[in-house]
Amino acid sequence: MTNDSQTIIDGFKFNWEIKKGVFQFEGQEAVLFWISTAMKSFFDTIEEISGEEASNLVFETAGFRQGLVVGEYFEKMKDLSVEDAAKAITTTYASAGWGKIEIKELNYQTKTLSAYLKDTWEHKINVAQGKDKGGSFLPAHFAGIFTGLFGTNIWYETTQHQLDGNEFSIIEYFPSEINISSNIHELARKKESEQIKYLERLVEEKTGELQGLVKKLSSPIIPVLEGIVVVPMIGTYELDRAEDLIINTLNNLPAHKANYLILDLTGLDQEISDHTASLIEKIGAASSLIGTKTILVGITTELSIAISRSTINFSQFECFQSLQHGIHFALSQMGRKII
């Protein structure tokens, strides 16, 4: 056994230079891989990292670009017709273990053809992977080849898969505006759209959580002493927030057996609106219906001026400057005091 050898099979040359670690096919350096193990592992890894949709585009793009190089090379050989080039390519591929590939119904005028693929290396990998759908590398590869041979963009449609139990996979080729660049951009736009939708859902969820938190914090009811609860009013009350405040307050007063409800207005906006003034009046009126008296505290000079300008009558409420004063008043009304 020699370290260097050359073999000619059906007119194709195979050379080995063992000491240099070189294998040549038709004078070009090549490599050999086991299909159902090493190549399968390679495909599995790409799919695992990229995901099925993106990896399919990777194989399709790589196949097309490799085919384009082959097609452009043979197109420069002016002594070969497209039919002869197609036959030479498929024969060369068969000798390299790519499988049985036949080109049929080739029409140079319409730039159309059909390819019949049987037992290709890609099919064998798909079988080893347990796939139920054929791959895109070889179909796109021949689209690249004939794009180079025809000098116009060719795309494909697989009409029959060998994986479905058929003798051949059949791929139809035709001129088209579809190309790998448009497919890459389409996938990028799709991924971008999916990411935007994901972020929108995330924002919606977080906004809902925040609104729930604000809802809880914006209408707290604080029992400070037996029979006395405090509800701080903060900021501005639009319709929904005002309704939450009324419902939460009225639902909790009986549970706390409240005789006095102290509304702390310290945190209200100084420019009190008619809507907010009406809200205070509604809370007081509703509380009185269940036997709870309302006291207003935290009224600053600016707030008192704003209240006096409103159309609501606040004379029904006991009003104090500070929360401490309001609590002492409520206690005194119940015949109690802080010692």
Count structural domains, the chain: 3
Q: How confident is the model at residue 220 (pLDDT cuts 50, 70, 90)?
A: confident
Condensed to tens digits (0 to 9), the pLDDT of residues 266-278 reads 888 766 777 788 8
pLDDT tens-digit series, residues 151-173: 999 999 999 999 999 999 999 99
**2 and 98 housed in the same domain:** no
**Whether 13 and 44 share a structural domain:** no
Q: What is the CATH number of the domain that holds 61?
A: 3.30.1380.20
Indicate the pLDDT class of residue 185, thresholds 50, 70 and 90.
low
Examine the pLDDT at 186 and tell me if it is beyond 90.
no
SS (H, E, C) 166-226: CCCEEEEEEECCCCHHHHHHHHHHHHHHHHHHHHHHHHHHHHHHHHHHHHHHHCCCEEEEC
**pLDDT given at position 111:** 94
* 246 and 311 share one domain: yes
Instruction: Please report the pLDDT score of residue 3 as a whole number.
Output: 65
Residue linked to tokens 């260097």: 4
Kindly report the average pLDDT of the chain as a whole number.
Answer: 85
Question: In Å, how far from its chain's centre is CA 161?
Answer: 31
User: Considering the chain, what percentage of its residues have pLDDT values greater than 70?
Assistant: 89
* CA distances, 185 to each of 142, 179, 193, 265, 317 (Å): 22, 10, 12, 57, 68
Decide if 195 is inside a domain.
no
Q: How confident is the model at residue 1 (pLDDT cuts 50, 70, 90)?
A: very low
Residue 74 lies in a domain: yes
User: Is 94 found in the same domain as 3?
Assistant: no
> Quick check: is 154 in a domain?
yes
Rounded-to-integer distance, Cα 128 and Cα 150, Å = 35
CATH for 268? 3.30.750.24
Quick one: DSSP state of residue 36?
Answer: I
Percent of the chain at pLDDT > 90 equals 32
Q: Kindly state whether residues 24 and 110 are assigned to the same domain.
A: no
Domain boundary among 178, 204, 237: 178
Residues 7 and 123 in one domain: no
Q: Do 12 and 50 belong together in one domain?
A: no
Whether residue 284 is contained in a domain is answered as: yes
Residue 191 domain flag: no
190 found inside a domain: no
Containing structural domain, residue 21: 1-32
Domain-located, residue 339: no
Q: What is the CA radius of gyration of the chain?
A: 41
In this structure, the answer to whether residues 38 and 171 fall within a common structural domain is yes
**Has residue 212 been placed in a domain?**
no
Residues 170, 225 within the same domain: no
Residues 232 and 299 in one domain: yes
* Short-list 75, 77, 61, 116, CA closest to 93: 116
Task: Tell how far CA 278 is from the center of its chain.
Answer: 46
Q: Are residues 19 and 87 in the same domain?
A: no
Residues 39, 157, single domain; the answer is: yes
How does residue 313 score in pLDDT terms, banded at 50, 70 and 90?
Answer: confident
Tens of pLDDT, residues 238-265: 777 788 888 888 888 998 899 999 999 8
